[in-house]
Structure 1
Amino acid sequence: MGAPFVKTKYPGVYTRVLNRRIDGQQERAYIVWYKDAEGKPHYKTIGTHYGDGMRPQTANAVRDEILREIREGAKRSSPEPAPDYTVGDAVEAYSVYARGEGKYIDRDMSAYNTSLRSALHAVPITAVVPAILSRVKIAMRDSGLSDQSIVHRFAFLRRAINYAIDGRLYVGPNPLSTRRNGQFKLPEPQNARVRYLDPDQATALLAAMKRRSQSMYVMGELSLRTGMRITEIFGIVGADVDRASGIIFVTAKGGKRQPVHASPAVFDLIAPYVRGPQHLLFPARTGARRKGIGNAFPRAVDDVGLNRGVTDSIHKVTFHTFRHTFASWLAQSGKVTMLELKELMRHESIRMTLRYAHLIPGHQANSLSIVSDLLDHALPPRP
């Protein structure tokens, strides 16, 4: 018989001693209890103390997210679906909304037209059953798409139908909902990038980028000091930079406007690029927003040899590696908690942050200047 569950101070969060030790310390698991939309109780093991870096407050945050997903799924369900509102209707309505909000969805629409339109555009949402979605999923795999690409396409479709539901354009459940007890399952790609740089590698790469392109170098250091995504950097305009408050505003995933706290060194770095309030800091040569990273970055990576001999894509250095490095250095410092790291990374879910849990030593303290301090010691003085 297994060890008993022990209550924590958080309702519905328990620990259980495991029959193994990590570095001489007794390992224990964290378990959360909840009821699903049908009222059925569940116990779910979500991680271990030493192996996964799980803590009671982190487990409580995971449980809160599970409960929120259950509530939102129940709220969106309805016994009276609209009989003739099609998948195409939802996509077109969402497209109008997204473009009006300044969201970049050209790539999503192109993927939809290529992979989903012929099979689903004219189909009423009420007629979209798991068997249809499975056939579409198989067809996309047969066409050579990766699991991650399939997930992105279905996620776009789910957002479009959720928009129709929220706007009362369609009344009914979302057939692409991935609730825990639902029949529709998305692929689970095992391609989360895990590569991060040490200070010497970061210094060498930034130096190579600077030789190739001054603006690309600045974007790389900006990402490394703040954890910004390259798409967020592309969208920054002068009005987004508020040095007085120490904040740079970015448009994150889903079109959400988010504040990113930055050190004085960051504002010094980007100062030459701040022009008018509505001028992009890093525009394309045409003055429009950039759509891609260009050649300077991959050539700089080749110059340093960081991808030499690397065949698995999850271990290759990409621009996103700067963001992973930002998070990894913070985690390794032991000076931030998992929840603090979640806020600094602006993750929507604590589960996204848990990929860095194994890097956190365990003791906690507030800090924001850790990455800047590392870079200030590693990089040569800026002229």
Structure 2
Amino acid sequence: MPLKLKPPRPGKSPYWSVRGTYLGVAVDRSTKATDRATAAKVLRKIEADIKSGLVSPKGVKTFLDAAVDYMAATGHQEHLAPIVERLGAYAVEAIDQQLIDETAIALKPEAAAATRNRWVYTPISAILKHAGVEQSIRRPKGWRGTPRTDWMTPDQAFRLLEAAEGVDREFAIFLSFLLYTGARLSEGLGLKVDRLDLSEANAYIETSKNGDPYTAYLPPVLVADLANHPRGLGRQGQRVFRFTKCGRIYTLLDKARKAAGPDLAFVGFHTFRHTWATWMRRYGKSDTRGLLETKRWRDAASVRRYEHVVESEEARRADLLPTRNTRKNAK
């Protein structure tokens, strides 16, 4: 039955109450109002909350429920607190494009589209997908941002690793791991000792950003670094590296950068991934398809950004262009 106002009950309660069912939600509560006009406003507010999804029927999964399940399954918590605070009470089925857009603007009013996408759209999409809600979420215009492919030359990378040795031995090995596997920061930090096999020269990355696990090959130089880990590797169930994604790890990188030289000021943790991909193209002779098959990326578009680091066969035809010497020889 629809929601109805019930008058105060003498000797029991001086307040009007609301009873009934609206859109499948059963209601039986006091309005805390002693006059009918105010109670009617409370009734309309209850209806609006139910219609918007702010109040859900019993047994219906809320965004908070979905977020808790997602965090328990993946361990990912980054950027989630303000989103859950705003959307937690909504039924997952009630979260639509308009609500997501409004949430992004409210949480990141001055941010660029790429930042809104990273901090709001992507986490919401991941939680809804994990909850089994198939919804095509439209990202904000310009959300891809401007792809950056800054990378280090061998000389720069080796100077940075050497500088990191002077800052913290384990941190230097961690940077070496990122450099020679192309792993993301979160993948390296989450790596467990029992997922590392130096005899087979590989590391199994269970959770990646694109959702696909992959096995990373460890070249000999990296195997040697890991074999000399200052805390050893006989720590089953523990993480290989003691660091977490907090201010300290960025402070360590900053110290190493400054010690290595001013030309390395541009380096961030993701630069190691770009450097690995660039070196795989330039020195490992991997093409776009080869890089894609490493499972570090899901789509070819993300890999093509590294095509510019290697001269194409057509570009090398510039060697055949006339020069002043060929003109003299022609005479």
Instruction: Give the TM-score normalised by structure 2.
Output: 0.66
- Quote the residue 2:75 is aligned against: 104
* Structure whose CA Rg is larger: 2
Match of 2:165 in 1: 210
Q: Matches of residues 356-375 of structure 1 in structure 2 within 5 Å?
A: 356-362=306-312
User: Where do residues 116-265 of structure 1 align in structure 2 (5 Å cutoff)?
Assistant: 117-118=85-86, 120-125=87-92, 127-142=94-109, 144-152=110-118, 153-165=120-132, 173-174=134-135, 176-178=136-138, 185=140, 187-251=142-206, 252-253=208-209, 256-265=212-221
Contact 2:151 2:271 in 1 (8 A): yes
**Is 1:283 aligned with 2:223?**
no
Aligned partners of 1:223 and 1:322 also within 8 Å: yes
Gap change, CA 1:133 and 1:225, over 3 Å in 2: closer
Rounded to whole Å, the distance in 1 between the matches of 2:185 and 2:252 is: 14
| Change in 2 beyond 3 A, CA 1:130/1:250 | closer
Cα distance, 1:225 vs structure 2: 1.5
- Separation (CA, whole Å) in 2 of partners of 1:275 and 1:223: 21
Q: Deviations over 1:30-89 (max 9, x none)?
A: xxxxxxxxxxxxxxxxxxxxxxxxxxxxxxxxxxxxxxxxxxxxxxxxxxxxx9589971
Deviation at 1:91, TM superposition (A): 4.3
Contact 1:223/1:230 (8 A) holds in 2? yes
Question: Does the CA contact (< 8 Å) of 1:332 and 1:359 recur in 2?
Answer: yes
After superposition, what is the alpha-carbon deviation per residue over 1:121-175, rounded to whole angstroms, capped at 9, x for unaligned?
4444555444444333333442x3343331122111112212222xxxx6xx52x
Q: Which amino acid aligns with 2:245?
A: K
Give 3-state SS (helix, strand or coil) of 1:253's partner: coil
Q: Name the residue aligned to 2:23.
A: none
8 Å Cα contact 1:151/1:187 also seen in 2: no
Deviation at 1:321, TM superposition (A): 0.9
Q: Which has the higher contact order (CA 8 A, sep 6+)?
A: 1
TM-score, length of structure 1 as denominator length: 0.58
CA separation of 1:128/1:104 partners in 2, compared to 1, >3 Å: closer, same or farther?
closer
Mind listing any 5+ residue stretches in structure 2 that lack a counterpart?
1-54, 314-331
**Distance of aligned partners of 1:231 and 1:199 in 2 relative to their CA distance in 1, 3 Å threshold:** same
Partner SS state of residue 204, structure 2: strand
On the 8 A contact 2:203/2:215 being kept in 1, the answer is yes
Misfit runs of 4+, over 6 Å: 85-88
CA distance in 2, matches of 1:106, 1:161: 15
The aligned counterpart of 2:274 is 324
Residue equivalent to 2:8: none
* 1:270 counterpart residue number: 226
Rounded to whole Å, the distance in 1 between the matches of 2:122 and 2:131 is 14
For the pair 1:306 / 2:270, whether they are aligned, the reply is no
Distance (Å, rounded) in 2 between the aligned partners of 1:334 and 1:227: 13
Unaligned 5+ residue runs, structure 1?
A: 1-82, 179-183, 285-289, 309-315, 364-383
Q: CA deviation at 1:204?
A: 1.4
The 3 A distance-change label for structure 1 pair 159 and 300 is same
- Kindly tell me the number of residue pairs found equivalent between the two proteins: 250
Matched, 1:342 2:297: no
Say if 1:189 and 1:337 are closer, same or farther in 2 by CA, change over 3 A.
closer
Q: Percent identity?
A: 20
Supply the distance in 2 between the matched residues of 1:145 and 1:88 (Cα, whole angstroms). 30
Mapped to 2, the partners of 1:91 and 1:109 lie a distance apart of 10
Corresponding letter in the other structure for 1:109: L
Amino acid at match of 1:156: P
